[in-house]
Amino acid sequence: MGSSDFVTLFFLVAAVLIFFQLRSVLGRRTGNEKSPFETLAQREATKAPGSDDGKVVTLQRRDEANGEDRFSIIDAYAPVGTPLNEQLRELLRHDAAFTPKEFLNGAKVAYEMIVLAYAEGDRKTLKGLLSREVFEGFESAIADRESRGETMKSTFVGIEKAEITHASAKDNEEQVTVRILSQLITATYDKSGALIDGDAEAVADVNDVWTFARDVRSRDPNWKLIATEAEQ
């Protein structure tokens, strides 16, 4: 099997897994349809140099870093000598603007937007945040739910923890995998209004592992979700 066939198979498997896993997570969208990664990048790019408001440093200042000093943001996140540290260093060599903290901020916003957009059946928002293959999996699950006349009422409580577990940069693609522990209140009702899944009052813990990627050749600089799985 060629490498291109393997990538295609990977995306197809991811889309199928998403179809079966989405029922247990998800709520309503925030209404913010701008890419979280784009929003964060623009906000940091406009920060005044030297600002110490507690936020991460500007993209411009990171780009100017050179030598071993530029890896300090990686070493602060993952211990030197660990596989993750080496992976993140390689990613930084590939993308001088990357920082773990900034990426995780964007990933958490993206996670909430995707989860809530799915619950409301907001295909427009999802399409801008998912790869084509993963979007097809989400869209199939939404259409299946709609065909039965079911509705979801959900509340996104928050994210308790988000951590990068793997990163890679090869050829023209960058990938980062994130483990996210979130809390959601989700209830699904049939067309008559009867509760058929979830609980309208109980907070459920959800442990997900999501992989984001972007093609550095693309005119779209934003990361998109390419795979997701739920951990027990």
Reported as a single tens digit per residue, the pLDDT across 154-203 is: 899 999 999 999 999 988 899 999 999 999 999 999 999 999 999 999 99
- Return the structure tokens found at 190: 């049939």
Pick the CATH number of 3-231 from 3.10.450.240, 3.90.1150.10, 3.20.10.10, 3.60.15.10: 3.10.450.240
CA torsion sign for 190, 194, 196, 201 is positive
Q: Are 215 and 173 in contact (CB under 8 A)?
A: yes
Phi-psi domain of 87 (left: phi exceeds 0; alpha: psi -120 through 50; beta: other):
alpha
| CA–CA gap between residue 152 and residue 141 (Å, rounded) | 12
Residue predicted with more confidence, 102 or 64: 102
How far apart CA 36 and CA 112 sit, in angstroms, is 10
Q: Residue 32: pLDDT above 70?
A: no
d(CA 212, CA 203): 26
End-to-end alpha-carbon separation of the chain, Å?
32
pLDDT category of residue 70 using cuts at 50, 70 and 90: confident
Locate the DSSP E strands across the chain.
151-170, 173-189, 195-198, 204-215, 224-231
Which tens digit of pLDDT belongs to each residue from 125-136? Answer: 999 999 999 999
Going 123 to 126 to 132 to 133, the CA torsion angle's sign is negative
How buried is 171 (Cβ within 10 angstroms: 0-12 exposed, 13-18 middle, 19+ buried)? exposed
Looking at every residue in the chain, the average pLDDT score rounds to 79
Cβ-based neighbour number of residue 206 at 10 Å = 20
The domain segmentation of the chain, as residue ranges, is 3-231
Identity (one letter) of the amino acid at 229?
E
What does the pLDDT average to over 77-94?
A: 96
CA–CA distance, 176 with 159 (Å, rounded to integer): 18
